[in-house]
Chain A
Amino acid sequence: MDIIRVENLTKKFKNFTAVDNINFTVRPGEIFGFLGPNGAGKSTTISLLTTLLQPTGGRAWVKSFDVVSDRDAVRQNIGLVFQDPSLDERLTAEENLRFHARLYRVPAAAYPARLEEVLRLVDLWDRQKNLVKTFSGGMKRRLEIARGLIHYPAVLFLDEPTLGLDPQTRTNLWDYILKLKREKNMTIFMTTHYLNEAEYCDRIAIIDRGRITALDTPANLKKALGGDVITLQSVQAARLIAEIREKFQLAAEEKNGEILLKITAGEKFLPRLLARLHTEISAVTLRKPTLDDVFLNLTGRQIREENASPKDRLRAHNRMRGPK
């Protein structure tokens, strides 16, 4: 049975359609990723699934509870880690969790054991009595994940969980997320615009301008591209493309000033290619396909991490706020 089911879900804000008629299902125990650039509709989708926003059209169910008509049941069954910090920094780690546990009606008798369980999972057990304001950005994130788990949700939603964390902390956090899947068989729905993080997902949906343009495992998505990518640079791009077509019967295409050629077993083909071409080539690269290529192929644009919007930079700054 699917744990999340989404049918024709749509969300409009005045004249802007943030989520445009999307359909997908999430299976129990998988890490399902939403990959897309800023403003693609990822966070809006999470807000719809977690009942923070009301859909304009379509329906969605979490663990067979309707997100509109069965709001409280959905809320009881999800754990949510927001994109922006949401801890009370003047409380201790334990007090933050106790607050949450009471609101989600965790039985008082079960609380001590659960507290230890979730805090040990994210390695914060020995920091439970510390005020959250003394925590680093990564520790706060882990505490938020622990908090999202303490009421034993059916699905854990992570909205850009590693945004604003440094690369080492990011990798570290992923160890915890994967551990969660391994040890608890937790279903995780996450959004990201980091391509390398999408690789950790069992399945990903690529979302652009509110629409899902592809949905599959990362391996299948890359396979669908038709092999490796050889990138050539030349001042005589048109002539190069013509020569490749003539000598190898291959259609190369020009994108962003580079000539792209898709080919299986590129490492074997590349020497032959260079040996037979006469047009001058200034640079050449061979790449195994990445999810960026998948995205580029689907949308004609790239997701680039360095294109973080000012808002994201501010978020990142807020996330890192506090002592290291």
Chain B
Amino acid sequence: MLITIFTIWQREIIRYGRDKTRIVATFVQPLMFLAIFGTGLRQTLATGDFGLDFLQFMYPGIIAMSVMGVAFFSTISTVWDREFGFLKEILVAPVRRSAIVLGKVFGAASLAAFQALILLGLSPLIGVKIQLLALPGLLFFMILIGLAIAALGLLIASLMKTTESFGLIMQILIFPMFFMSGAFFPLNSAPIWMRTLSGFNPLSYGVDALRQILLANQATPAILDKFTLHSPIMNAAFLLAFSSLAVSAAILAFNKKA
């Protein structure tokens, strides 16, 4: 079981390493986000009563968004495998479907966390100081967000027959998930319907947790409290529960469909 998970995981990593476009995108995309959101939106959106630089406020959200983008995009490999016939080779092997799903999910989550680490390296540009002690917590939540999104992506991928339909569903999901994640504006002050919806959005828990850990040094607890929704433990619990649910559903879908 472990060897199978590792083998499937390793293939995802090797394929990523061979894809120059994806590697370049991994480095360029975060820079682009920071440039656009940071310099552009800082002037228009920051109203000044944050008690905190807007770029710093958004930084955790941008990390979470990158994780989401990469995790979703990486699960497309399952649809490609189906289209190019390789999925058959995996499915006829004497291995558990759950091992296949876990290998794929871990693969996508690893790549997503890797992307987030690169973004973390940009923190000096934003003026955010990260303490060494905060790193394990940050990495933990990056992986958790990656897992939750990858599991959701894989569930969708296992239901989709073509890359086109997968892409379409992704498009429909990504934007509401991002805008209702608390990355742009604090959800505390958002209308009740949006707060309700974001209660189902794994990204909002991820952003919430990352922000608390990342900005612990930048803002006073009083200011941080204004944005905070849940305790980190609560956030972790939701993300874990969401991941397990989505993974279980993906395994079921794999058993049925594939």
What 8 pairs across the A-B complex have the smallest Cβ distances? Answer: A75-B94, A103-B93, A86-B85, A102-B7, A72-B94, A76-B94, A86-B89, A84-B85
Check if A174 is an interface residue, CB within 8 A of chain B: no
A248 to B191, CA, bound (A): 100
Chain A residues within an 8 Å CB radius of B88: 52, 82, 84, 86
Q: Is A51's CB under 8 angstroms from B14's CB?
A: no
Chain A interface (Cβ within 8 Å of chain B)? Answer: 50-52, 72-73, 75-76, 80, 82, 84-91, 95, 99-100, 102-105, 131, 147
A103 to B128, CA, bound (A): 45
Chain A residues within an 8 Å CB radius of B3: 102, 105
Q: Is A103's CB under 8 angstroms from B84's CB?
A: no
Q: Is B85's CB under 8 angstroms from A89's CB?
A: no
Binary A-proximity of B77-94 (CB < 8 A = 1, otherwise 0): 000000011101111111
Question: What is the minimal beta-carbon distance from A132 to any residue of chain B, in angstroms?
Answer: 10
Chain B residues within an 8 Å CB radius of A84: 85, 88
18 further contact pairs, Cβ within 8 A, besides A88-B86, A102-B6, A103-B94: A52-B88, A52-B91, A72-B94, A75-B93, A75-B94, A86-B84, A86-B85, A87-B86, A87-B89, A90-B15, A90-B19, A91-B14, A99-B7, A100-B89, A102-B4, A102-B7, A103-B7, A103-B93
A86 to B80, CA, bound (A): 11
User: Residue on A with the closest CB to B86?
Assistant: A88
Q: Is A100's CB under 8 angstroms from B93's CB?
A: yes
Chain B residues within an 8 Å CB radius of A105: 3, 94
Q: How many pairs, one residue from A and one from B, have CB atoms within 8 Å of each other in the complex?
A: 61
- Within 84-106 of B, Cβ neighbours of A (below 8 Å) are at 84-86, 88-95
A95 to B15, CA, bound (A): 11
Chain B residues within an 8 Å CB radius of A51: 92
Number of interface residues of B (CB under 8 A): 20
Chain A residues within an 8 Å CB radius of B84: 85-86, 88-89
Chain B residues within an 8 Å CB radius of A72: 94
A-B contact list, 16 entries, CB within 8 Å: A50-B92, A52-B88, A52-B92, A72-B94, A75-B93, A75-B94, A82-B85, A86-B84, A86-B89, A87-B89, A89-B84, A90-B14, A99-B11, A103-B7, A103-B90, A103-B94
Q: Is A103's CB under 8 angstroms from B4's CB?
A: yes
- Within 13-59 of B, Cβ neighbours of A (below 8 Å) are at 14-15, 18-19
